[in-house]
């Protein structure tokens, strides 16, 4: 019972955390911070995991593809 209640609480929080990190990543990128790519990566990871939980597979795939783009963007930015 406690575990089920915990999971029902944690999943929405994971989704909101991911969405918040993606928005923060946009802000950091607009202000030319290299860390924006890493924040975006974490946000997309959380959104992707949450999307799998919600069986929103197209959104999950999109998030994981964007994660690869985040890595590429970070490497290009710092080199």
Q: What is the pLDDT of residue 4?
A: 81
Residue 27: which residues within 8 A CB-CB, separation 6 or more?
Answer: 36
pTM of the entire predicted model: 0.89
Q: Any idea of the CA torsion for 60, 64, 66, 67, to the nearest 10 degrees?
A: 140
Q: Could you report the per-residue pLDDT of 8-46, keeping only the tens digit for each? A: 889 999 999 999 999 999 999 999 999 999 999 999 999
């Amino acid at each position: 019972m406690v575990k089920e209640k915990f999971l029902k609480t944690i999943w929405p929080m994971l989704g909101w955390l991911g969405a918040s990190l993606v928005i923060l990543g946009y802000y950091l990128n607009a202000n030319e911070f290299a860390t924006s790519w890493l924040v975006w990566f974490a946000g997309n990871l959380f959104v992707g995991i949450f999307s799998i939980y919600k069986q929103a597979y197209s959104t999950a795939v999109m998030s994981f593809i964007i994660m690869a783009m985040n890595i590429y963007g970070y490497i290009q930015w710092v080199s």
